[in-house]
Structure 1
Amino acid sequence: MTLTTGTAGPLLTPEQVESLLIKPVLAASVALNPLCSRVLRPTAPSVRLPSVTADPTAAWVSEGAELPVSDLTMAEVDVVTKKVAGLSVVTSELAEDSNPEATAEVGRGLARDIARKVDAAFFGDGTANGGEQPDGLAALTVGAGGVQDIAAGTAPTDLDAFAEGQMLAANVGAQLTAFVTNPATALVLANMKEATGSGKPLLQPDPTQPTRRVIFGVPLLTSPEAPVGTVWGLPAERLVTAVRRDADVQADRSVFFTSDRVAVRATCRVGFGFPHTAALVRIRLAAS
Protein backbone atom coordinates (compact mmCIF):
# COMPACT_ATOMS: atom_id res chain seq x y z
CA MET A 1 0.00 0.00 0.00
CA THR A 2 1.26 3.48 -0.87
CA LEU A 3 0.47 6.37 1.46
CA THR A 4 0.52 9.79 -0.23
CA THR A 5 0.67 12.79 2.08
CA GLY A 6 1.58 15.54 -0.38
CA THR A 7 -1.33 17.70 -1.49
CA ALA A 8 0.13 20.03 -4.07
CA GLY A 9 2.85 20.11 -6.68
CA PRO A 10 3.69 21.14 -10.22
CA LEU A 11 1.53 19.42 -12.80
CA LEU A 12 3.49 20.68 -15.79
CA THR A 13 7.14 21.52 -16.35
CA PRO A 14 8.03 25.16 -17.23
CA GLU A 15 8.38 24.13 -20.87
CA GLN A 16 4.94 22.52 -20.83
CA VAL A 17 3.42 25.58 -19.15
CA GLU A 18 4.76 27.76 -21.96
CA SER A 19 3.49 25.53 -24.77
CA LEU A 20 0.22 24.31 -23.24
CA LEU A 21 -0.91 27.40 -21.30
CA ILE A 22 0.82 30.63 -22.28
CA LYS A 23 0.91 30.14 -26.04
CA PRO A 24 -2.79 29.15 -26.22
CA VAL A 25 -3.66 32.20 -24.08
CA LEU A 26 -1.69 34.40 -26.46
CA ALA A 27 -3.59 32.87 -29.38
CA ALA A 28 -7.07 33.05 -27.81
CA SER A 29 -6.97 36.53 -26.27
CA VAL A 30 -7.83 39.58 -28.35
CA ALA A 31 -5.79 41.75 -25.98
CA LEU A 32 -2.71 39.68 -26.82
CA ASN A 33 -3.34 39.63 -30.56
CA PRO A 34 -0.40 41.31 -32.38
CA LEU A 35 -2.96 43.36 -34.33
CA CYS A 36 -4.06 44.95 -31.05
CA SER A 37 -0.94 45.38 -28.93
CA ARG A 38 2.76 44.70 -28.55
CA VAL A 39 3.31 41.79 -26.18
CA LEU A 40 6.23 41.98 -23.77
CA ARG A 41 7.44 39.05 -21.66
CA PRO A 42 9.17 40.63 -18.63
CA THR A 43 10.54 38.84 -15.57
CA ALA A 44 9.99 41.82 -13.25
CA PRO A 45 6.65 42.77 -11.61
CA SER A 46 6.37 45.92 -13.73
CA VAL A 47 7.65 47.47 -16.93
CA ARG A 48 8.43 51.17 -17.32
CA LEU A 49 7.76 52.58 -20.77
CA PRO A 50 8.63 56.03 -22.13
CA SER A 51 5.74 58.14 -23.30
CA VAL A 52 6.33 61.12 -25.56
CA THR A 53 3.96 63.96 -24.68
CA ALA A 54 5.50 66.53 -27.03
CA ASP A 55 7.95 66.11 -29.92
CA PRO A 56 10.97 68.41 -30.31
CA THR A 57 10.39 71.28 -32.70
CA ALA A 58 12.49 71.58 -35.86
CA ALA A 59 12.97 74.79 -37.82
CA TRP A 60 14.44 76.15 -41.05
CA VAL A 61 17.70 78.01 -40.38
CA SER A 62 20.20 80.02 -42.37
CA GLU A 63 23.58 78.55 -43.26
CA GLY A 64 25.95 78.98 -40.33
CA ALA A 65 23.19 80.12 -37.95
CA GLU A 66 22.71 78.61 -34.51
CA LEU A 67 20.23 75.74 -34.40
CA PRO A 68 17.24 76.32 -32.10
CA VAL A 69 17.15 74.12 -29.02
CA SER A 70 13.94 72.20 -28.48
CA ASP A 71 13.40 69.65 -25.73
CA LEU A 72 11.62 66.34 -26.07
CA THR A 73 8.87 66.22 -23.46
CA MET A 74 8.74 62.76 -21.94
CA ALA A 75 6.56 61.00 -19.42
CA GLU A 76 6.64 57.47 -18.07
CA VAL A 77 4.03 54.70 -18.10
CA ASP A 78 4.41 52.03 -15.45
CA VAL A 79 2.82 48.76 -16.58
CA VAL A 80 2.15 46.76 -13.42
CA THR A 81 1.31 43.11 -13.94
CA LYS A 82 -1.42 41.57 -11.81
CA LYS A 83 -2.33 37.96 -11.21
CA VAL A 84 -5.02 36.18 -13.18
CA ALA A 85 -5.82 32.59 -12.27
CA GLY A 86 -7.94 29.75 -13.58
CA LEU A 87 -9.12 26.66 -11.72
CA SER A 88 -10.13 23.37 -13.27
CA VAL A 89 -11.02 19.97 -11.83
CA VAL A 90 -9.93 16.76 -13.55
CA THR A 91 -9.89 13.10 -12.64
CA SER A 92 -6.79 11.66 -11.05
CA GLU A 93 -6.40 9.35 -14.03
CA LEU A 94 -6.27 12.28 -16.43
CA ALA A 95 -3.82 14.25 -14.28
CA GLU A 96 -1.52 11.24 -14.04
CA ASP A 97 -1.81 10.25 -17.69
CA SER A 98 1.51 10.60 -19.45
CA ASN A 99 -0.25 10.89 -22.79
CA PRO A 100 0.55 14.39 -24.16
CA GLU A 101 -3.02 14.78 -25.38
CA ALA A 102 -4.37 14.33 -21.84
CA THR A 103 -2.06 17.05 -20.54
CA ALA A 104 -2.92 19.29 -23.47
CA GLU A 105 -6.63 19.01 -22.70
CA VAL A 106 -6.02 20.32 -19.18
CA GLY A 107 -4.01 23.21 -20.58
CA ARG A 108 -6.58 24.13 -23.23
CA GLY A 109 -9.40 24.51 -20.74
CA LEU A 110 -7.35 26.68 -18.41
CA ALA A 111 -6.02 28.75 -21.32
CA ARG A 112 -9.54 29.53 -22.57
CA ASP A 113 -10.63 30.65 -19.10
CA ILE A 114 -7.60 32.85 -18.54
CA ALA A 115 -7.89 34.37 -22.03
CA ARG A 116 -11.46 35.44 -21.26
CA LYS A 117 -10.34 37.04 -17.98
CA VAL A 118 -7.50 38.88 -19.73
CA ASP A 119 -9.86 40.28 -22.36
CA ALA A 120 -12.40 41.34 -19.72
CA ALA A 121 -9.65 43.33 -17.98
CA PHE A 122 -8.40 44.76 -21.29
CA PHE A 123 -11.80 46.30 -22.03
CA GLY A 124 -12.57 47.14 -18.38
CA ASP A 125 -11.69 50.00 -16.07
CA GLY A 126 -9.81 48.08 -13.39
CA THR A 127 -12.52 48.40 -10.73
CA ALA A 128 -13.87 44.85 -11.04
CA ASN A 129 -12.76 42.17 -8.59
CA GLY A 130 -11.96 44.73 -5.92
CA GLY A 131 -9.55 46.58 -8.18
CA GLU A 132 -7.25 43.56 -8.41
CA GLN A 133 -7.25 43.56 -12.19
CA PRO A 134 -5.19 46.03 -14.26
CA ASP A 135 -6.70 49.16 -15.76
CA GLY A 136 -7.96 48.65 -19.28
CA LEU A 137 -9.40 50.74 -22.11
CA ALA A 138 -12.45 51.89 -20.14
CA ALA A 139 -10.17 53.55 -17.57
CA LEU A 140 -8.58 55.89 -20.12
CA THR A 141 -9.43 59.57 -20.34
CA VAL A 142 -11.57 60.44 -23.37
CA GLY A 143 -10.97 63.73 -25.19
CA ALA A 144 -8.59 66.57 -24.22
CA GLY A 145 -5.49 64.73 -25.43
CA GLY A 146 -6.84 61.32 -24.48
CA VAL A 147 -8.80 58.72 -26.42
CA GLN A 148 -10.46 60.19 -29.50
CA ASP A 149 -14.22 59.67 -29.44
CA ILE A 150 -16.68 59.38 -32.32
CA ALA A 151 -20.46 59.17 -31.95
CA ALA A 152 -21.74 57.15 -34.92
CA GLY A 153 -25.39 57.04 -33.84
CA THR A 154 -27.53 54.11 -32.80
CA ALA A 155 -28.36 53.01 -36.36
CA PRO A 156 -25.51 53.94 -38.73
CA THR A 157 -26.06 53.29 -42.42
CA ASP A 158 -22.47 53.81 -43.55
CA LEU A 159 -18.89 53.35 -42.39
CA ASP A 160 -17.94 57.03 -42.37
CA ALA A 161 -17.14 56.90 -38.64
CA PHE A 162 -14.46 54.28 -39.28
CA ALA A 163 -12.84 56.37 -41.99
CA GLU A 164 -12.89 59.31 -39.57
CA GLY A 165 -11.28 57.13 -36.90
CA GLN A 166 -8.42 56.21 -39.22
CA MET A 167 -7.85 59.88 -40.04
CA LEU A 168 -7.92 60.91 -36.37
CA ALA A 169 -5.26 58.33 -35.58
CA ALA A 170 -3.21 59.45 -38.58
CA ASN A 171 -3.36 63.03 -37.32
CA VAL A 172 -1.25 61.98 -34.31
CA GLY A 173 1.10 59.83 -36.36
CA ALA A 174 -0.56 56.46 -35.68
CA GLN A 175 -2.08 53.78 -37.88
CA LEU A 176 -5.02 51.69 -36.77
CA THR A 177 -4.24 47.99 -37.10
CA ALA A 178 -7.52 46.57 -35.77
CA PHE A 179 -11.11 47.45 -34.98
CA VAL A 180 -12.40 45.40 -32.04
CA THR A 181 -15.96 45.00 -30.84
CA ASN A 182 -18.51 42.61 -29.36
CA PRO A 183 -19.90 39.91 -31.72
CA ALA A 184 -23.38 41.43 -31.40
CA THR A 185 -22.12 44.79 -32.63
CA ALA A 186 -20.07 43.12 -35.35
CA LEU A 187 -23.28 41.50 -36.59
CA VAL A 188 -24.93 44.92 -36.92
CA LEU A 189 -22.00 46.06 -39.05
CA ALA A 190 -21.99 42.84 -41.08
CA ASN A 191 -25.68 43.32 -41.95
CA MET A 192 -25.10 46.80 -43.38
CA LYS A 193 -25.57 46.89 -47.17
CA GLU A 194 -24.05 49.11 -49.83
CA ALA A 195 -27.43 50.63 -50.70
CA THR A 196 -31.11 50.24 -50.01
CA GLY A 197 -32.34 47.10 -51.75
CA SER A 198 -28.81 45.83 -52.32
CA GLY A 199 -27.69 42.47 -51.00
CA LYS A 200 -24.00 43.32 -51.09
CA PRO A 201 -22.56 43.92 -47.61
CA LEU A 202 -20.42 46.95 -46.81
CA LEU A 203 -17.86 44.84 -44.97
CA GLN A 204 -15.44 42.95 -47.16
CA PRO A 205 -13.65 39.64 -46.44
CA ASP A 206 -10.03 39.73 -45.36
CA PRO A 207 -7.92 38.26 -48.20
CA THR A 208 -5.61 36.62 -45.64
CA GLN A 209 -8.48 35.12 -43.61
CA PRO A 210 -11.75 34.81 -45.57
CA THR A 211 -13.81 34.31 -42.41
CA ARG A 212 -12.64 37.68 -41.05
CA ARG A 213 -13.98 41.05 -42.23
CA VAL A 214 -12.10 44.27 -42.90
CA ILE A 215 -13.17 47.92 -42.74
CA PHE A 216 -11.17 50.12 -45.12
CA GLY A 217 -8.37 47.56 -45.01
CA VAL A 218 -8.34 47.25 -41.20
CA PRO A 219 -9.33 43.83 -39.75
CA LEU A 220 -12.47 43.69 -37.61
CA LEU A 221 -11.91 41.46 -34.56
CA THR A 222 -14.48 40.35 -32.01
CA SER A 223 -14.44 39.46 -28.34
CA PRO A 224 -17.42 38.52 -26.14
CA GLU A 225 -15.76 40.61 -23.41
CA ALA A 226 -15.88 43.81 -25.47
CA PRO A 227 -18.76 46.19 -24.65
CA VAL A 228 -21.82 46.05 -26.87
CA GLY A 229 -22.29 49.18 -28.96
CA THR A 230 -18.65 50.24 -28.90
CA VAL A 231 -15.92 49.67 -31.46
CA TRP A 232 -12.30 50.33 -30.50
CA GLY A 233 -9.80 51.39 -33.14
CA LEU A 234 -6.39 50.19 -31.95
CA PRO A 235 -2.87 50.93 -33.21
CA ALA A 236 -0.81 47.95 -32.02
CA GLU A 237 2.44 49.93 -31.83
CA ARG A 238 0.87 52.34 -29.29
CA LEU A 239 -0.39 49.67 -26.85
CA VAL A 240 1.58 47.24 -24.71
CA THR A 241 0.50 44.06 -22.95
CA ALA A 242 2.99 42.61 -20.48
CA VAL A 243 2.83 38.89 -19.65
CA ARG A 244 5.20 37.74 -16.91
CA ARG A 245 7.31 34.66 -17.65
CA ASP A 246 6.74 33.00 -14.28
CA ALA A 247 3.37 31.38 -15.04
CA ASP A 248 2.80 28.01 -13.38
CA VAL A 249 0.31 25.19 -13.06
CA GLN A 250 -0.24 23.48 -9.70
CA ALA A 251 -2.27 20.40 -8.78
CA ASP A 252 -3.88 19.74 -5.39
CA ARG A 253 -5.41 16.37 -4.51
CA SER A 254 -6.73 17.31 -1.07
CA VAL A 255 -9.68 19.52 -2.07
CA PHE A 256 -11.57 16.75 -3.89
CA PHE A 257 -10.03 13.83 -2.01
CA THR A 258 -13.35 11.97 -1.55
CA SER A 259 -14.08 11.87 -5.30
CA ASP A 260 -10.53 11.05 -6.41
CA ARG A 261 -10.24 14.23 -8.45
CA VAL A 262 -7.52 16.81 -8.73
CA ALA A 263 -7.86 20.59 -8.60
CA VAL A 264 -5.62 22.16 -11.22
CA ARG A 265 -4.76 25.83 -10.84
CA ALA A 266 -3.01 28.00 -13.40
CA THR A 267 -1.73 31.50 -12.70
CA CYS A 268 -0.01 34.16 -14.74
CA ARG A 269 0.48 37.91 -14.41
CA VAL A 270 -0.67 40.41 -17.02
CA GLY A 271 -0.68 44.20 -17.30
CA PHE A 272 -1.60 46.80 -19.93
CA GLY A 273 0.15 50.00 -20.95
CA PHE A 274 -1.15 52.86 -23.07
CA PRO A 275 1.77 55.21 -23.72
CA HIS A 276 -0.09 57.17 -26.43
CA THR A 277 -3.80 57.33 -25.64
CA ALA A 278 -4.51 59.96 -28.31
CA ALA A 279 -3.75 57.30 -30.94
CA LEU A 280 -6.72 55.21 -29.75
CA VAL A 281 -10.19 55.75 -31.19
CA ARG A 282 -13.52 54.85 -29.62
CA ILE A 283 -16.53 54.65 -31.96
CA ARG A 284 -19.89 54.62 -30.20
CA LEU A 285 -22.82 52.99 -31.95
CA ALA A 286 -25.01 53.40 -28.89
CA ALA A 287 -26.62 56.38 -27.21
CA SER A 288 -24.05 56.44 -24.39
Structure 2
Amino acid sequence: MSMLTSSSGASAVLPVEYGEIVTKPVEALSVAYLTGTKVLTNSNSYEIPILASDVTAGAIAEGAEITPSDAAFNPLRVVPAKFGGLTIISRELADDSNPSAADQVGRSIARQIANSVDNSLFNALSAPNPAGFASLSGISTVGAPVAYTNLDPFEEAVSKSEAAGGRITHWVTGAATALEIAKLKDASGSNRGLLNPDLAVEGRRTILGRPVVVSPYVPADVVYGISKDDFLVVTREDTRLDVDHSAYFSSDRVGVRGTMRVAFAMPVPAAHVRITNAAS
Protein backbone atom coordinates (compact mmCIF):
# COMPACT_ATOMS: atom_id res chain seq x y z
CA MET A 1 0.00 0.00 0.00
CA SER A 2 1.36 3.42 -0.95
CA MET A 3 2.15 5.97 1.75
CA LEU A 4 -0.09 8.43 -0.15
CA THR A 5 -3.20 6.26 -0.44
CA SER A 6 -5.71 4.73 1.90
CA SER A 7 -7.69 1.52 1.58
CA SER A 8 -10.30 2.52 4.15
CA GLY A 9 -12.84 5.28 4.41
CA ALA A 10 -13.03 5.00 8.20
CA SER A 11 -11.98 7.91 10.35
CA ALA A 12 -9.52 7.32 13.16
CA VAL A 13 -6.51 9.56 13.80
CA LEU A 14 -3.08 7.94 14.15
CA PRO A 15 -2.04 8.42 17.81
CA VAL A 16 0.32 11.30 18.54
CA GLU A 17 2.55 9.04 20.62
CA TYR A 18 2.90 5.48 19.40
CA GLY A 19 6.45 4.61 20.41
CA GLU A 20 6.00 0.85 20.33
CA ILE A 21 5.47 1.00 16.56
CA VAL A 22 9.06 2.28 16.31
CA THR A 23 10.71 0.46 19.21
CA LYS A 24 9.72 -3.12 18.39
CA PRO A 25 10.72 -3.07 14.70
CA VAL A 26 14.04 -1.38 15.48
CA GLU A 27 14.86 -4.02 18.05
CA ALA A 28 13.87 -6.74 15.57
CA LEU A 29 15.84 -5.29 12.65
CA SER A 30 18.97 -3.91 14.33
CA VAL A 31 22.06 -6.09 14.76
CA ALA A 32 22.89 -4.03 17.87
CA TYR A 33 19.84 -5.32 19.72
CA LEU A 34 20.37 -8.87 18.44
CA THR A 35 23.94 -9.10 19.68
CA GLY A 36 23.79 -6.82 22.71
CA THR A 37 21.99 -6.56 26.05
CA LYS A 38 19.26 -3.94 26.11
CA VAL A 39 19.27 -1.53 29.05
CA LEU A 40 16.45 0.97 29.57
CA THR A 41 16.87 4.39 31.16
CA ASN A 42 14.66 7.43 31.63
CA SER A 43 17.63 9.76 32.18
CA ASN A 44 19.70 11.86 29.82
CA SER A 45 22.74 9.71 30.62
CA TYR A 46 23.49 6.26 31.96
CA GLU A 47 26.37 5.50 34.31
CA ILE A 48 27.98 2.07 34.58
CA PRO A 49 30.24 1.31 37.55
CA ILE A 50 33.36 -0.53 36.36
CA LEU A 51 35.29 -2.43 39.02
CA ALA A 52 38.84 -1.06 39.18
CA SER A 53 40.11 -3.03 42.19
CA ASP A 54 38.64 -5.84 44.26
CA VAL A 55 38.02 -6.09 47.95
CA THR A 56 41.08 -7.47 49.74
CA ALA A 57 40.57 -11.04 50.95
CA GLY A 58 42.84 -13.78 52.25
CA ALA A 59 43.40 -16.44 54.87
CA ILE A 60 43.03 -15.34 58.51
CA ALA A 61 43.54 -17.03 61.83
CA GLU A 62 40.50 -18.29 63.73
CA GLY A 63 39.08 -15.53 65.90
CA ALA A 64 41.21 -12.82 64.27
CA GLU A 65 39.71 -9.57 63.09
CA ILE A 66 39.01 -9.24 59.37
CA THR A 67 40.48 -6.02 58.03
CA PRO A 68 37.85 -4.15 56.02
CA SER A 69 38.64 -2.90 52.54
CA ASP A 70 36.81 -1.15 49.75
CA ALA A 71 36.29 -1.98 46.14
CA ALA A 72 37.19 0.84 43.76
CA PHE A 73 34.99 1.76 40.82
CA ASN A 74 35.54 3.87 37.72
CA PRO A 75 32.25 5.10 36.26
CA LEU A 76 31.55 4.79 32.55
CA ARG A 77 29.01 7.41 31.47
CA VAL A 78 27.16 7.18 28.16
CA VAL A 79 24.65 9.61 26.68
CA PRO A 80 22.03 8.15 24.33
CA ALA A 81 22.08 9.85 20.92
CA LYS A 82 18.87 10.74 19.17
CA PHE A 83 18.08 8.84 15.97
CA GLY A 84 15.17 10.02 13.89
CA GLY A 85 13.25 9.37 10.71
CA LEU A 86 10.57 11.38 8.94
CA THR A 87 8.00 10.37 6.34
CA ILE A 88 5.19 12.32 4.69
CA ILE A 89 1.81 10.65 4.18
CA SER A 90 -1.61 11.69 2.91
CA ARG A 91 -4.27 12.78 5.36
CA GLU A 92 -6.38 9.83 4.19
CA LEU A 93 -3.73 7.38 5.36
CA ALA A 94 -3.29 9.24 8.66
CA ASP A 95 -7.04 8.92 9.26
CA ASP A 96 -7.12 5.26 8.27
CA SER A 97 -8.36 3.03 11.07
CA ASN A 98 -6.68 -0.04 9.59
CA PRO A 99 -3.89 -1.05 12.04
CA SER A 100 -1.65 -2.11 9.13
CA ALA A 101 -1.45 1.51 7.93
CA ALA A 102 0.02 2.74 11.20
CA ASP A 103 2.26 -0.31 11.36
CA GLN A 104 3.63 0.32 7.88
CA VAL A 105 4.44 3.95 8.64
CA GLY A 106 6.15 2.96 11.89
CA ARG A 107 8.15 0.17 10.28
CA SER A 108 9.31 2.48 7.50
CA ILE A 109 10.75 4.89 10.06
CA ALA A 110 12.06 2.02 12.19
CA ARG A 111 14.08 0.66 9.26
CA GLN A 112 15.78 4.03 8.86
CA ILE A 113 16.60 4.17 12.56
CA ALA A 114 17.80 0.53 12.72
CA ASN A 115 20.14 1.12 9.78
CA SER A 116 21.53 4.28 11.36
CA VAL A 117 22.08 2.54 14.70
CA ASP A 118 24.04 -0.32 13.08
CA ASN A 119 26.04 2.07 10.91
CA SER A 120 27.13 3.88 14.08
CA LEU A 121 27.93 0.60 15.81
CA PHE A 122 30.38 -0.69 13.19
CA ASN A 123 31.85 2.53 11.77
CA ALA A 124 33.68 5.44 13.37
CA LEU A 125 31.21 8.22 12.65
CA SER A 126 31.37 11.77 13.88
CA ALA A 127 29.09 13.20 16.59
CA PRO A 128 26.23 13.10 17.32
CA ASN A 129 26.52 9.39 16.41
CA PRO A 130 27.38 7.23 19.43
CA ALA A 131 30.79 5.53 19.52
CA GLY A 132 30.75 1.86 18.55
CA PHE A 133 33.15 -1.02 18.00
CA ALA A 134 35.15 0.72 15.25
CA SER A 135 36.37 3.36 17.70
CA LEU A 136 36.52 1.16 20.80
CA SER A 137 39.84 1.59 22.57
CA GLY A 138 41.17 -1.63 24.09
CA ILE A 139 39.24 -4.06 21.91
CA SER A 140 41.08 -7.35 21.35
CA THR A 141 42.44 -7.87 17.84
CA VAL A 142 43.32 -10.90 15.75
CA GLY A 143 45.03 -11.00 12.36
CA ALA A 144 43.69 -13.35 9.70
CA PRO A 145 45.36 -14.43 6.44
CA VAL A 146 44.46 -12.75 3.17
CA ALA A 147 42.24 -15.75 2.41
CA TYR A 148 40.76 -17.93 5.16
CA THR A 149 41.92 -21.55 5.11
CA ASN A 150 40.71 -22.64 8.56
CA LEU A 151 39.02 -21.38 11.71
CA ASP A 152 42.19 -20.71 13.69
CA PRO A 153 41.60 -16.91 13.82
CA PHE A 154 38.23 -17.55 15.43
CA GLU A 155 39.72 -19.95 17.97
CA GLU A 156 42.23 -17.23 18.86
CA ALA A 157 39.43 -14.68 19.16
CA VAL A 158 37.49 -16.90 21.57
CA SER A 159 40.64 -17.37 23.66
CA LYS A 160 41.35 -13.63 23.83
CA SER A 161 37.78 -12.86 24.84
CA GLU A 162 37.88 -15.51 27.56
CA ALA A 163 41.18 -14.16 28.85
CA ALA A 164 39.43 -10.82 29.39
CA GLY A 165 36.49 -12.48 31.15
CA GLY A 166 34.20 -12.35 28.11
CA ARG A 167 32.29 -15.00 26.20
CA ILE A 168 31.79 -14.49 22.48
CA THR A 169 28.16 -15.15 21.59
CA HIS A 170 27.96 -13.81 18.01
CA TRP A 171 30.15 -13.22 14.98
CA VAL A 172 29.19 -10.21 12.84
CA THR A 173 30.63 -9.57 9.37
CA GLY A 174 29.71 -8.42 5.88
CA ALA A 175 28.09 -10.63 3.25
CA ALA A 176 31.26 -11.14 1.17
CA THR A 177 33.36 -12.24 4.15
CA ALA A 178 30.56 -14.48 5.44
CA LEU A 179 30.39 -16.19 2.04
CA GLU A 180 34.16 -16.67 1.92
CA ILE A 181 34.15 -18.40 5.29
CA ALA A 182 31.05 -20.43 4.42
CA LYS A 183 32.88 -21.92 1.42
CA LEU A 184 35.55 -23.51 3.63
CA LYS A 185 35.49 -27.32 3.45
CA ASP A 186 36.21 -29.77 6.22
CA ALA A 187 38.91 -31.55 4.20
CA SER A 188 40.76 -31.31 0.92
CA GLY A 189 38.57 -32.66 -1.89
CA SER A 190 35.47 -32.65 0.31
CA ASN A 191 32.21 -30.91 -0.56
CA ARG A 192 31.10 -30.77 3.06
CA GLY A 193 31.25 -27.31 4.61
CA LEU A 194 33.46 -26.62 7.60
CA LEU A 195 30.86 -24.44 9.30
CA ASN A 196 28.09 -26.00 11.32
CA PRO A 197 24.44 -25.21 10.52
CA ASP A 198 22.28 -23.82 13.32
CA LEU A 199 19.52 -26.43 13.39
CA ALA A 200 17.26 -24.09 15.38
CA VAL A 201 17.25 -21.40 12.66
CA GLU A 202 16.87 -22.33 9.02
CA GLY A 203 19.76 -21.10 6.87
CA ARG A 204 21.88 -19.79 9.74
CA ARG A 205 25.53 -20.79 9.96
CA THR A 206 27.64 -21.02 13.09
CA ILE A 207 31.38 -20.75 13.75
CA LEU A 208 32.53 -22.71 16.79
CA GLY A 209 28.90 -22.90 17.89
CA ARG A 210 28.31 -19.13 17.68
CA PRO A 211 25.86 -17.79 15.08
CA VAL A 212 27.14 -15.71 12.15
CA VAL A 213 25.22 -12.46 11.70
CA VAL A 214 25.58 -10.53 8.45
CA SER A 215 25.48 -6.73 8.43
CA PRO A 216 26.14 -4.44 5.45
CA TYR A 217 27.71 -1.93 7.83
CA VAL A 218 30.71 -4.04 8.83
CA PRO A 219 33.74 -2.98 6.71
CA ALA A 220 35.17 -5.46 4.20
CA ASP A 221 37.51 -8.16 5.56
CA VAL A 222 36.47 -7.52 9.18
CA VAL A 223 34.72 -9.90 11.58
CA TYR A 224 33.61 -8.88 15.06
CA GLY A 225 33.33 -11.38 17.89
CA ILE A 226 30.84 -9.90 20.35
CA SER A 227 30.32 -10.87 23.96
CA LYS A 228 26.62 -10.16 24.57
CA ASP A 229 26.93 -9.77 28.34
CA ASP A 230 29.64 -7.13 27.86
CA PHE A 231 27.80 -5.09 25.24
CA LEU A 232 25.01 -2.84 26.51
CA VAL A 233 22.57 -1.11 24.18
CA VAL A 234 21.40 1.78 26.34
CA THR A 235 17.93 2.90 25.24
CA ARG A 236 15.93 5.88 26.49
CA GLU A 237 12.31 5.13 27.35
CA ASP A 238 10.97 8.16 25.47
CA THR A 239 10.77 6.63 21.97
CA ARG A 240 8.07 8.54 20.08
CA LEU A 241 6.02 8.50 16.92
CA ASP A 242 4.67 12.03 16.41
CA VAL A 243 2.13 13.25 13.89
CA ASP A 244 2.00 16.87 12.69
CA HIS A 245 -0.96 18.17 10.67
CA SER A 246 0.34 21.71 10.10
CA ALA A 247 3.75 21.54 8.38
CA TYR A 248 2.31 20.30 5.06
CA PHE A 249 -1.07 22.05 5.32
CA SER A 250 -1.11 23.37 1.72
CA SER A 251 -0.84 19.85 0.23
CA ASP A 252 -3.18 18.16 2.71
CA ARG A 253 -0.41 15.88 3.88
CA VAL A 254 0.76 14.85 7.33
CA GLY A 255 4.28 14.54 8.72
CA VAL A 256 5.04 11.42 10.76
CA ARG A 257 8.29 11.51 12.73
CA GLY A 258 9.87 8.79 14.82
CA THR A 259 12.66 9.41 17.32
CA MET A 260 14.61 7.00 19.48
CA ARG A 261 17.65 7.58 21.71
CA VAL A 262 20.36 4.91 21.77
CA ALA A 263 23.96 4.59 22.98
CA PHE A 264 26.46 1.74 23.26
CA ALA A 265 28.52 0.73 26.27
CA MET A 266 31.32 -1.84 26.36
CA PRO A 267 32.51 -1.92 30.00
CA VAL A 268 35.19 -4.54 29.21
CA PRO A 269 36.54 -3.64 25.74
CA ALA A 270 38.89 -6.63 25.52
CA ALA A 271 35.94 -9.02 25.84
CA HIS A 272 35.15 -8.17 22.21
CA VAL A 273 37.41 -9.07 19.29
CA ARG A 274 38.02 -7.57 15.86
CA ILE A 275 39.40 -10.04 13.30
CA THR A 276 41.01 -8.33 10.32
CA ASN A 277 42.36 -9.88 7.14
CA ALA A 278 45.96 -9.11 6.27
CA ALA A 279 44.77 -7.57 3.01
CA SER A 280 42.92 -4.81 4.88
Normalised by the size of structure 2, how large is the TM-score? Answer: 0.88
Contact 1:11 1:249 in 2 (8 A): no
Q: Offset at 1:162?
A: 0.6
Q: For 1:141-199, what per-residue CA distance to the aligned partner results, in whole angstroms no more than 9, with x for missing partners?
A: 2xxxx111000122011011111111111112211111111122111111122223221
The unaligned stretches of length 5 or more in structure 1 are 1-9
Structure 1 segment 215-230 matched on structure 2, within 5 A: 215-230=207-222
Match of 2:101 in 1: 102
In 1: Cα distance, 2:241 partner to 2:278 partner: 41
Match of 1:133 in 2: 129
Match of 1:17 in 2: 19
SS in 2 for 1:107: helix
Match of 2:36 in 1: 37
- Name the CA shift for 1:126/1:67 in 2 (closer, same or farther; >3 Å): farther
The unaligned stretches of length 5 or more in structure 2 are 1-12
In 2: Cα distance, 1:223 partner to 1:256 partner: 36
- Name the CA shift for 1:158/1:44 in 2 (closer, same or farther; >3 Å): same
- Name the CA shift for 1:107/1:113 in 2 (closer, same or farther; >3 Å): same
In 1: Cα distance, 2:238 partner to 2:187 partner: 53
Match of 2:224 among 232, 236, 243: 232
Structure 1 segment 122-271 matched on structure 2, within 5 A: 122-127=121-126, 131-141=127-137, 146-271=138-263
Q: Offset at 1:23?
A: 0.9
Normalised by the size of structure 1, how large is the TM-score? Answer: 0.85
Q: Offset at 1:125?
A: 2.3
My pick for the range that moved more, 44-53 or 58-67, is 58-67
Q: For 1:213-255, what per-residue CA distance to the aligned partner results, in whole angstroms no more than 9, with x for missing partners?
A: 1111111111111222111111111111111111112233445
Two-structure CA RMSD over aligned residues (Å): 2.1
Q: How many aligned residue pairs are there? A: 268
Q: Offset at 1:37?
A: 1.4
Q: Percent identity?
A: 40
- Name the CA shift for 1:54/1:203 in 2 (closer, same or farther; >3 Å): farther
- Name the CA shift for 1:192/1:37 in 2 (closer, same or farther; >3 Å): same
